[in-house]
């Protein structure tokens, strides 16, 4: 079974703090994604990566950055956390490039910024 | 912008009643996927539809992809309490972009 592991399930951070959300997948998938999920808005893509050291902006990249130094690891960084970044963050991965590939999600990280 | 609209946002049904959620895209999709997220859980892949007019079934779940490849539906026959959760459609636009609908929350009264 594909395993996508997010290191932190629940975090509480203060406004202005730097926040790291870590994600590791164990199936040698090329593609990795970060989404945030908010009630009524569904899943919105923040950043994605098709390869090591490669990143592309999704629909809502403002206030976020990412790092992919190794194929299995994709990190989401909030340089200066703000209260409007309180959300559930989902990491995901899929095999190869192209349409039609199943996306496997991690269990999610609930971030509260106070 | 390119969007996938999903309705209804929320539905509360009596156990045994049927349930349907609909997705509509402003542009033609190369394929559409459906995911289910249980309360407190993460989205899990259910199925993918690729062909125009395609219909697929998984036990009590029936998935359809429209002839124009711009809309899709998920129908559950005789809902059970195990069906509760949020159902997401996700449309693959040509050019490899996957766009999720906002999801439909299903609650089932026993």
Range of the domain at B35: 4-109
Q: What total of structural domains would you count in chain B?
A: 1
| Residue among A99, A106, A107 whose CB faces B96 most closely | A99
Q: What is the mean pLDDT of residues B22-30?
A: 93
Query: Do B30 and A106 make contact, defined as CB atoms within 8 angstroms?
Result: no
Q: What are phi and psi of A84, to 5 degrees?
A: -75, 0
The answer to whether B85 contacts chain A (CB < 8 Å) is no
| Residue among B44, B92, B100 whose CB faces A42 most closely | B100
Q: What is the dihedral of CA A15, A17, A21, A22, to 10 degrees?
A: -170
Structure tokens at B90: 């996700």
Q: What is the mean pLDDT of residues B66-74?
A: 97
Q: Residue A34 has what pLDDT?
A: 97
The answer to whether A40 contacts chain B (CB < 8 Å) is yes
Do B40 and A99 meet the contact criterion of CB atoms below 8 Å apart?
Answer: no
pLDDT > 90? residue A80: yes
CATH number of the domain to which B82 belongs: 2.60.40.10
- Per-residue confidence band for A98, with pLDDT thresholds at 50, 70 and 90: low
Helix, strand, coil shares of chain B, percent, nearest 5, are 5, 60, 40
Q: Which three-class secondary structure state does DSSP give residue B91?
A: strand
Tens digit of each residue's pLDDT (9 = 90 or more) over B28-50: 999 999 999 999 999 999 999 99
Do B46 and B38 meet the contact criterion of CB atoms below 8 Å apart?
Answer: no
Query: Do A100 and B98 make contact, defined as CB atoms within 8 angstroms?
Result: no
- Per-residue confidence band for B1, with pLDDT thresholds at 50, 70 and 90: low
Inter-chain CB pairs, A–B, below 8 Å: 49
Q: Residue A41 has what pLDDT?
A: 85
Q: What is the mean pLDDT of residues B76-101?
A: 90
* Residues β-bridged to residue A31: A94
Structure tokens at A109: 């990280």
Chain B environment of A44 (Cβ under 8 Å): 100
pLDDT > 70? residue A96: no
Q: Residue A95 has what pLDDT?
A: 83
- Per-residue confidence band for A64, with pLDDT thresholds at 50, 70 and 90: very high
- Per-residue confidence band for A42, with pLDDT thresholds at 50, 70 and 90: confident
pLDDT > 90? residue A101: no
pLDDT > 70? residue A99: no
The CA-to-CA distance between both ends of chain A, in Å, stands at 37
CATH number of the domain to which A75 belongs: 2.60.40.10
Query: Do A43 and B43 make contact, defined as CB atoms within 8 angstroms?
Result: yes
Q: What total of structural domains would you count in chain A?
A: 1
Query: Do A100 and B48 make contact, defined as CB atoms within 8 angstroms?
Result: yes
B102 Ramachandran zone, left/alpha/beta (phi>0; psi -120 to 50): alpha
CA–CA separation, B1 and B27 (whole Å): 10
Q: Residue A86 has what pLDDT?
A: 98
Picking from A92-96, B9-13, B73-77, which range would have the lowest pLDDT averaged per residue? A92-96
Q: Residue A102 has what pLDDT?
A: 85
Q: What are phi and psi of B81, to 5 degrees?
A: -65, -25
- Per-residue confidence band for A61, with pLDDT thresholds at 50, 70 and 90: very high
Percent of chain B whose predicted confidence (pLDDT) is above 70? 95
């Amino acid at each position: 079974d594909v395993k996508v592991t997010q290191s932190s399930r629940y975090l509480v951070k203060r406004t202005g703090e730097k926040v790291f959300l870590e994600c590791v997948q164990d199936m040698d998938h090329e593609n990795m994604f970060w989404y945030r999920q908010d009630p009524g808005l569904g899943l919105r893509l923040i950043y994605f990566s098709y390869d090591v050291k490669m990143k592309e902006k999704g629909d809502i990249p403002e206030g976020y950055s990412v790092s992919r130094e190794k194929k299995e690891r994709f990190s989401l960084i909030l340089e200066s956390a703000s209260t409007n970044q309180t959300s559930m963050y989902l990491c995901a991965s899929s095999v190869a490039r192209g349409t039609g590939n199943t996306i496997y999600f991690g269990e999610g990280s609930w971030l509260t910024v106070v | 912008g390119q969007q996938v609209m999903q309705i209804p946002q929320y539905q509360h049904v009596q156990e045994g009643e049927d349930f349907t959620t609909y997705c509509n895209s402003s542009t033609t999709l190369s394929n559409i996927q459906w995911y289910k997220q249980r309360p407190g859980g993460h989205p899990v892949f259910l199925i993918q539809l690729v062909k125009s007019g395609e219909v697929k079934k998984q036990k009590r779940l029936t998935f359809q992809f429209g002839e124009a490849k711009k809309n899709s539906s998920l129908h559950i026959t005789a809902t059970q309490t195990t069906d509760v959760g949020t159902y997401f459609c996700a449309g693959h636009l040509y050019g490899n972009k996957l766009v999720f609908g906002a999801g439909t929350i299903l609650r089932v009264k026993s």
